[in-house]
Amino acid sequence: MSEKNETFLQTINRWFRTSISVKVVTIIILTLLLLIPTKMIEDLIHEREWRMRGAMSEVGEKWGQSQTIHGPVLVIPYYEVYKTYNEEKEKYVYTKSEDFYAYVLPDELYINGEARPAHLHRGIYDLVVYEADLSLSGTFPKLKLEELGINSDYVKWENVIVATGISDNGGIQNERLNITLDTAEYELKPGVGISVLTQSGVHTEIPYQDFVNSDKKNLPFKLDLKIKGNERLYFVPVGKSTKVQLKSTWKDPSFGGQYAPDHREVQDSGFIAEWGITNLNRNYPQQWANRNYNTELSAFGVDLMIGVDQYQKSFRATHYALLVIALTFMTFFFVEVSRKVRIHPLQYILVGLALALFYSLLISITEHLGFQVAYGISAVMVVGLVGYYSRFVFKSSRFAIYIASGIAIIYGFLYATLGSQEYALLMGSLGLFIILAVVMIATRRLPMFQQTEIESN
């Protein structure tokens, strides 16, 4: 049948079979459509991560949640007296205000601690918890009433407390928790008395007026705290000079919060970290009255985490799905043109689905065997499947090996990029440049504006 006698549908069919331009457009559309299952896998990764965090939260409710230690801090209640004129009785009336609070932070705060991690299992998830022994010591200064504009006669000295914030009281292991102030020892009670600085913790009333009236320049304190928690152990640097030393047998710590350690040693046997922070590094003073500061924004410490990183790596891997699918389709297209083998769009779709399935295999196997092993297994499965399928598509073992090797190289490059956070951008940029150069060389003689007959063997 001559081209003049072709029907419209026959003309369209011939274009799809013979036109390189139409083939390229079809491949691009299929590539974009395959991003839909990839996005679904990204949602699956988020769901699995949230399930793991839910399991950690359930463990935390029974063992102890993430802990943030805040304090100790002196809390001084006081009131104001207002003078108003009563016209009915034609005299002045003095009225007491509601309670206000002044806060005194330590001049020095030293924290020396050791965290002993342990593994707990919740379903398929491996969770890390810890027990920590913390020794808190330092000195309190005298309250400078004149600088804060407070009349000493209006201070409720009998209600002065020293409070230590503990984000989850359920993790306290001490049978009795005492704080030593100078030479006297006081038993701490649950709650912080006032929730302006922190929501939970312990406190006790102290005879602070005796110290204010004495000749002593500072009030030393000491508190030994045994605590349980999971995932995170943070501290708020309330001291004018805060020094923290923390050690643990956990070999893969993540130091987070507002400040990085001044010194750290991380080995297979564990880590030792030291922080030194002054009041100049924070955004709140050592003493203030009738005002609120969100002091917990300055918290810092260590995260003892496992499992989350594997989800983050899996999610980062999905960002390269478009690149992997496009390069594989491009390889198929070049072989199709050079070998003059007609490949059905359905075959492109099946290969693309196999590549998308890689990420589902990756996350499911990672939850049981870890990211590195899961990546290798998933890559071998997908490379083997696509290579085996290519053998029959192109009717050539040699080209099947070429394609399988190309996909293996892509997955190897992707793994190296995921494993190198510092050089990920550099490696990705250089990799894309090399890929673009190879494509440009391969297509330098491709007939873009004429139709080329692609005949099957």
**Spatial distance between the Cα atoms of 278 and 409, rounded to a whole number of angstroms:** 51
- The better pLDDT of the pair 377, 26 is held by 377
Angle at 72 between CA 67 and CA 78, to 5 degrees: 125
Tell me the per-residue pLDDT of 237-282, one tens digit each, with 9 for 90 and over: 999 999 999 999 988 888 989 999 999 999 888 999 999 999 999 9
**Pairing verdict, β 232-236 and 67-78:** parallel
- Say what the pLDDT of residue 259 is: 93
Nearest to 393 by CA among 346, 341, 357: 341
Look up the pTM and report it: 0.68
- H or E, element range at 189: strand 189-190
C-alpha closest to that of 279 among 235, 238, 221, 219? 238
What's the pLDDT band for 449 if we cut at 50, 70, 90?
very low
Mean pLDDT of 206-222: 88
pLDDT in tens, 84-96: 766 666 665 556 6
> For residue range 172-213, what is the model confidence (pLDDT) as tens digits?
999 899 999 988 999 999 988 665 677 889 999 998 888 888
pLDDT confidence of 424, banded at 50, 70, 90? Answer: low
Average pLDDT over residues 130-147: 90
Whether residue 429 contacts residue 390, with contact meaning beta carbons closer than 8 Å, is answered with: no
Sign of CA dihedral 349, 354, 357, 358: negative
Q: What per-residue confidence (pLDDT) applies to 453? A: 42
- Decide if pLDDT at 31 tops 90: no
Cα–Cα distance for residue pair 417/258, rounded to 1 Å: 28
Whether the CB-CB separation of 351 and 329 falls below 8 Å is answered with yes
Residues in the chain: 457
Among 299, 223, 262, 304, CA closest to 69? 299
pLDDT at residue number 243: 96
pLDDT at 446: 54
Q: Give yes or no for residue 444 having a pLDDT over 70.
A: no
pLDDT in tens, 294-312: 888 899 999 986 645 677 7
Per-residue pLDDT tens for 382-393? 999 988 888 888
Answer whether 131's CB lies under 8 Å from 227's CB.
Answer: yes
> Encoding tokens for residue 401?
């090996």
Cα-only R_g, the chain = 34
Of the candidates 365, 353, 359, 358, which has an alpha carbon nearest to the alpha carbon of residue 380?
358
Per-residue H/E/C for 222-279: EEEEEEEEECEEEEECCCCEEEEEEEECCCCCEEEECCCCCEEEEECCEEEEEEEEEH
CA distances from 142 to 26, 104, 193, 214, 250 (A): 78, 8, 21, 10, 40
The tokens for 273 are 């970290």
For residue 150, what pLDDT is reported?
Answer: 85
Q: Is residue 290 left, alpha or beta, with left meaning phi > 0 and alpha meaning psi from -120 to 50?
A: left
Average pLDDT estimate for 349-378? 85
Answer yes or no: is pLDDT of 457 > 50.
Answer: no
The arithmetic mean of pLDDT across residues 306-332, rounded, is 75
Higher per-residue confidence, 149 vs 126: 149
Place of tokens 């030994």: 224
Q: Does the pLDDT at position 6 exceed 70?
A: no
Higher-scoring residue by pLDDT: 172, 53: 172
pLDDT of 354: 87
Q: What is the mean pLDDT of the chain?
A: 81
| Residue 4 reports pLDDT greater than 60 | no
Please check the confidence at residue 15 and state whether its pLDDT lies above 80.
Answer: no
So what's the pLDDT on residue 455?
42
pLDDT of residue 69: 94
